[in-house]
Amino acid sequence: MAGGSSSSSSSFSTAPAPSLVDSLFQRSLDDLIKALRSQPAGAEPSLLSRAVAEIRREIRSPDPDTKAVALQKLTYLSSLHGLDASWAAFHALELLPSPSPLHKRLAYVAASLSFHPSTTDVLPLSTHQLRKDLSPSSPPPFSSLALHLLSLSASPDLALHLAPDLLPLLSPRSSPSSPLRPKAAAAALRTLSVCPDVAPLLFKPLVDCLSSPDLRVVSAAVGAFAELASSGDPTPYLPLAPEFYRVLAESGSNWILIKLLKIFTRLAPLEPRLAARLVDPLCDLLRRSSAQSLVFECVRTVFSGLPDHDRAVRLAVDKVREFLASADDPNLRYLGLRALSMLGPRHSWAVEESREAVIRSLADPDPNIRREALHLIMVMVFDSNVVEISVLLVNYAMKSDPIFANELLDAVLTTCRRNVYELIVDFDWYVSLLGEMARNPHCTRGEEIERQIVDIGLRVRDARPELVRVARGLLIDPALLGNPFLCRILSAAAWVSGEYVEFSRNPLELVEALLQPRTSLLPPLVRAVYIQAVFKVLAFCFSTYIDQLEISQLSSSIVESNTAAAASCIADGIAGMESTDGIATGDKPASLFSSIENKDPFTCESLTKLLILIETAVGPLSENDEVEVHGRARNLLGLIHMLREILTWKTEEQGFIKDNRIGEIVNLLQSMFSEELGPVSVNAQNRVPVPEGLVLEENLADLAWTLTEDDTAPSMSISFSLRSHQHGKTKDAAASSVRSASLLAEHRKRHGLYYLPTEKDETESNDYPRANDPLLPASQGDVPEDLVKLTKQSLIPRKVKHTKPRPVVIKLDEGDGVSTFPSTTVKESKDDLLSGAIHDALLGEGKPSSSQKRYSDKSSRGRVKDIADTGESVSQSKENLESGNREHRSSGSKSKHRGHGKERHRSPQKNEEKEEKNHRNSARSSHHHERHKHRPRGEALLNVAPRAPVIQHFLL
């Protein structure tokens, strides 16, 4: 029927015909939903795109019904199927003025969905309509819709324009129990937050809402203040404390109480007397309330607002223990843990009391609870218990599931690394713990462990023997080589063993481990590290061997006994040396070289075997595809060839000694590796001052003449003719490179400033001894002196305890503490803007906001009184203005500003200087947090007064 009549009518009317057909055959939302539900899986995208095409056509219809339905469908698709609706913002706008409540409602919902405060360009067009709907003459449901839209999509401009229209809705005169007033309060909050400039206008009505008889209004206002106080600097709300306190005493609604407690959580730390007043009501609530949400809020208020009031803390801790013990409610267990981690180190006794429950939570079925328990435990780590806790966690990681195991390892690694290992006293223990972590089958934190192993090697001299021992354990285990997560750790282990090979108990065994067949499983870069380590070990072996021979030669020339005696003598000597190095000689690993171990570390025979082993293992690698592996293998082979060429010493050791070429080669190699590597600050380069008169842009080609023959030598020595097997040449190269190395060292000494600074002011914490600093003798004997020297030099903030056996940890402050501020800085500045504006509104209303005088004593008093009037606690405030202010010790930042105004009257001569100081302070502090550490000096303290009176009175 309908279809027939429509087609006939459409044939009559010409122009709008398509839209009429659209209107009549338009699918309703229900149709669309049904179609979506009945379609087969996978057809959804095509159906959606067809629907959107339909909507795009229908939405242009001049008929409001058609448009409304189209908008409704779009709203549905956009909010549930994630389709973009921003293109329809204008169409939603078109429908806003519709007189029909249905259309209006749809339009508002669509608008609130498609409008985005910063990207919707038609937003300003809605200003007029919103104003109209907000006006008291329009029906309340319309105003309600407008409030919603305003609160969701307010841009700063819109907020500024419409703020005055909120006033009638906020005022108590509008109607006794209008449902709009609480909504207007919420909208006012949003308006304030996007546009702090409207604070003078909206703040007072919002404060008035607190004394409304209607609980919903109070609730909305308290909610608004709770958000304001907890998102920025709470200081401006301190004068309202009496109001809040009154509501706390009068209101029985849990909803309101929770919000109030949030406010007090922020205010209590600012005002000790307020905190004292809160103890009783809080304890009362903690004891009586049956609503867990309220109890939890009380606990939080006590923990973060009143940590000094033992009675309240005690009660709250008991509640938390109840939470932790509730077996059937995971929420309470979770929140209990969270609450405890709020308490901080001062109250570690509270955690200690619930220790068992906390540790047990590590095994909770809920991963979130486990994580929270872990977090709590890590907060409670001190240098006294770090060993115990870390061992506990690392052992537990063995047993737990892979994800959590890694979280545990992460926690231990991050905590121990903090501030350059400040918690760690016993590095031997920590290093072996790192080794244990690597053996956890779930471990995927290879990179971090790698970093720490190398880092400790560089920074902590005393930990090196243990590091080498741990590294050996990792390297000889063939099982570890197959695990891709561990290769980074192995790389670090290989590097450590190569770099600090002098601490190795059995270098030959080490070479064997580094060249075992399964190393082919490693990625090329790690293999390259392995080969380089072999290179270093080889060089070390030969140099030790030659030292041995030299000693033996000496001794034999003195004693003139047979060689056997000399050999045993050397063996003793070596063993003695090793034991002074603190290296344990114990278990004998099953190894090719085990037979020779300890008897005589390096004999002709063992070295020959070593060379053969290396040659066999590395030989094939010289054809490797990977450049890193290839290059290093060639280096190593080159060295071996060179050594072989001179191996006349195979049989007669005396003859070898005479042929000193090998000694030179070995010395050269040793000198290459003997320079100790140190950590380098990330800012090292920046710290190098540009010398006066140095033109950095100038072309260096002109300077070619400055290069003397000697200066070019180093580059030659790098290639150092490993491939050339002519003895004479090698010797030459060796000699020249030794010379050039010393030249280089001299050059460094002369131009010390191009490298890390050596001598700086002692107070500068980045004072790091250069890697080859002469202050650090290579011998291990005088460590205590080193400790004293170094700590004095570079670890300034720390108090040195000479009795403490903690080894030296080299620390570069700038590079080590990485701060991540930028995002928070933006937030803070914004918040400060708002709380500043509110502060103005509260204390200096009516004055032009840019004027300094708005903070003058008089106006702030007037303002304060005004606000206090709404409560009961008013009458004596004036008397109290002067008294008792002196002891008021607020540390708020705002107080300073007010200090200005007053100071001007008192000590004008000092004013200037002071002002300047304040300016500097505020400039600096604006980058930091809202609560500043610096306190005004004595005089400024007096001037903090203007805010105090209300509190003062209220607390007396």
Partner 1 sequence: MNYIIKIHFVILLSRQGKVRLTKWYSPYSQKERTKVIRELSGLILTRGPKLCNFVEWKGYKVVYRRYASLYFCMCIDADDNELEILEIIHHFVEILDRYFGSVCELDLIFNFHKAYYILDEILIAGEFQEPSKKTVARLIAAQDSLVETAQEQASSISNMIGQATK
Specify the residue, 81 or 442, whose C-beta has the smaller distance to partner 1.
81
CA torsion angle for 687, 693, 699, 702 (degrees, to 10)? -130
Quote the least distance from Cβ 466 to partner 1, whole Å: 38
**Any idea what DSSP says for residue 773?**
-
Pick out residues in 76-115 that bind partner 1 (CB under 8 A). Answer: 76, 78-86, 100-102, 105-106, 109, 113
C-beta closer to partner 1: residue 136 or 179: 179
Query: Any contact of residue 44 with partner 1 (CB under 8 A)?
Result: no
Residue 30 binds partner 1, judged by CB under 8 A: yes
Whole-angstrom distance, CA of residue 500 vs CA of residue 477: 20
Q: Give how far the C-alpha of residue 328 lies from the chain's centroid of Cα atoms, to the nearest Å.
A: 34
Q: Which is nearer to partner 1, 88 or 492 (CB)?
A: 88
Judged by CB under 8 A, which stretch of 291-299, 392-400, 523-531, 764-772 contacts partner 1? 291-299
Rule CB under 8 A: choose which of 127, 292, 326, 891 binds partner 1. Answer: 292
Our CB check for partner 1 shows the closer of 231 and 598 to be 231
Nearer to partner 1, 426 or 831 (CB): 831
Residue 142 vs 421, nearer CB to partner 1:
142
Between residue 473 and residue 502, which ones bind partner 1 under the rule CB under 8 A?
A: none
CA angle centred on 64, ends 60 and 70, rounded to 5° = 55
Of residues 172-191, which lie at the interface with partner 1 (CB under 8 A)? 179, 182-183, 186-187, 189-190
Helix, coil or strand: residue 842? helix
Q: Which residue, 16 or 524, is less far from partner 1 as judged by CB?
A: 16
Residue 710 within binding range of partner 1, rule CB under 8 A: no
* Shortest distance, position 123 Cβ to partner 1, whole Å: 12
| Min CB(124)–partner 1 separation in Å | 16
Choose the stretch contacting partner 1; rule: CB under 8 A; options: 192-200, 444-452, 569-577, 784-792: 192-200
Q: Which of 565, 590, 418, 412 is closest to 506 using CA atoms?
A: 590
Selected binder of partner 1 within 159, 207, 212, 223 (CB under 8 A): 223
* Least distance in angstroms from the C-beta of 13 to partner 1: 6
Using CA atoms in the order 341, 347, 352, 356, what is the torsion angle rounded to 10 degrees? -30
298-317 positions binding partner 1, by CB under 8 A? 300
If one counts every other C-beta atom within 10 angstroms of the C-beta of residue 226, the result is: 23
Query: Smallest gap, in angstroms, from Cβ of residue 166 to partner 1?
Result: 12
666 binds partner 1 (CB under 8 A): no
Maximum Cα–Cα distance across the chain: 133
Contacts of 214 (CB under 8 A, 6+ apart): 176, 177, 181, 182
The pair of structure tokens assigned to 57 is 């056509």
What is the phi/psi pair of residue 509, to 5°? -65, -35
Which of 126, 129, 178, 193 is in the footprint of partner 1 by CB under 8 A?
Answer: 193
Q: Is 292 left (phi over 0), alpha (psi -120 to 50) or beta?
A: alpha
In whole angstroms, the minimum distance from the beta carbon of 14 to partner 1 comes to 11
Q: 954 Cβ partners below 8 Å, 6+ apart?
A: 241, 242, 245, 873
Of 77 and 640, which CB lies nearer to partner 1 in the complex structure? 77
Report the candidate in 900, 906, 904, 882 with the shortest Cα–Cα distance to residue 936.
900
Residues 6+ apart with CB under 8 A from 312: 279, 282, 283, 286, 302, 306
HEC string for 318-360: HHHHHHHHCCCCHHHHHHHHHHHHHHCHHHHHHHHHCHHHHHH
The answer to the question of residue 37 lying near partner 1 (CB under 8 A) is yes
Instruction: Check binding of 875 to partner 1 (CB under 8 A).
Output: no
Binding mask 539-568 for partner 1 (x = CB under 8 A): ------------------------------
Instruction: Please choose, out of 216-224, 495-503, 610-618, 741-749, the segment that lies near partner 1 by the rule CB under 8 A.
Output: 216-224
Q: 414, 826, 872, 929: which one contacts partner 1 (CB under 8 A)?
A: 826
Q: Does 538 bind partner 1 (CB under 8 A)?
A: no
Q: Minimal distance in Å, beta carbon 103 to partner 1? A: 8
DSSP state at residue 797: T
Q: In this complex, which beta carbon is closest to partner 1, that of residue 23 or of residue 952?
A: 23
DSSP label of 400: S
Residue from 253, 444, 911, 925 that binds partner 1 (CB under 8 A)? 253
Q: How far is the CB of 279 from partner 1 (least distance, A)?
A: 21
Question: For residue 503, what is the DSSP state?
Answer: G
Quick one: which segment of 448-456, 703-711, 827-835, 942-950 binds partner 1 (CB under 8 A)? 827-835
CB 26 within 8 A of CB 70: yes
Closest CA to 237 of 259, 266, 261: 266
Distance CA 220, CA 692 (A): 66
| Cβ contact 375:414 at 8 Å | no
Positions 314 through 333 that interact with partner 1 (CB under 8 A): 330-331, 333
In the complex, least distance from residue 508 CB atom to partner 1, rounded to whole angstroms: 52
The separation between CA 238 and the C-alpha centre of its own chain, rounded to angstroms, equals: 32
Helix (H) or strand (E) holding 190: helix 180-194
Which residue number, 19 or 506, has a Cβ lying nearer to partner 1? 19
Binding of partner 1 by 219 (CB under 8 A): yes
Based on the shown chain and the rule CB under 8 A, indicate whether residue 648 belongs to the binding site for partner 1.
no
- Minimum CB separation of residue 898 from partner 1 in Å reads 24
Those residues with Cβ within 8 angstroms of residue 655's Cβ, 6 or more apart along the chain or in another chain: 648, 649
Residue 854 and residue 863 in contact, taking contact as beta carbons nearer than 8 Å? no
Residue ranges in 331-370 that form contacts with partner 1 under rule CB under 8 A: 331, 333-335, 365-369
- Nearer to partner 1 among residue 83 and residue 521 (C-beta): 83
For partner 1, give the closer residue by CB, 30 or 587: 30
Q: Is 293 in the site for partner 1 (CB under 8 A)?
A: yes
Among 138, 174, 211, 231, binds partner 1 (CB under 8 A): 231
Site for partner 1 in 134-153 (CB under 8 A): 139, 141, 144, 147-148, 151-153
Q: Which one, 138 or 622, has the nearer CB to partner 1?
A: 138
- The separation between the first and the last C-alpha atoms of the chain, rounded to the nearest angstrom, is 83
Strand ranges (E), 204-255: none
322 phi and psi angles, rounded to 5 deg: -60, -45
Q: Which of 67, 72, 421, 491 binds partner 1 (CB under 8 A)?
A: 72
The nearest distance, CB 670 to partner 1, in angstroms, is: 53
Least distance from partner 1 to the Cβ atom of residue 775, Å: 46
CB of 449 to partner 1, least distance (A): 26
User: Scanning residues 776 to 815, which ones bind partner 1 (CB under 8 A)?
Assistant: none
Q: How far is the CB of 702 from partner 1 (least distance, A)?
A: 55
CB of 84 or CB of 623, closer to partner 1: 84
Question: In the set 27, 29, 904, 926, which binds partner 1 (CB under 8 A)?
Answer: 29
The DSSP string of 97-154 is: T-SSHHHHHHHHHHHHHH--TTT-TTGGGGHHHHHHHHSTTS-HHHHHHHHHHHHHH-
Residues contacting partner 1: total by CB under 8 A: 93
Please state, in angstroms and as integers, the Cα–Cα distance from residue 219 to each residue in 166, 235, 293, 871, 891, following that order. 18, 21, 16, 17, 30
- For residue 908, is it left (φ>0), alpha (ψ between -120 and 50) or beta? alpha
Regarding 119 and contact with partner 1 (CB under 8 A), the answer is yes
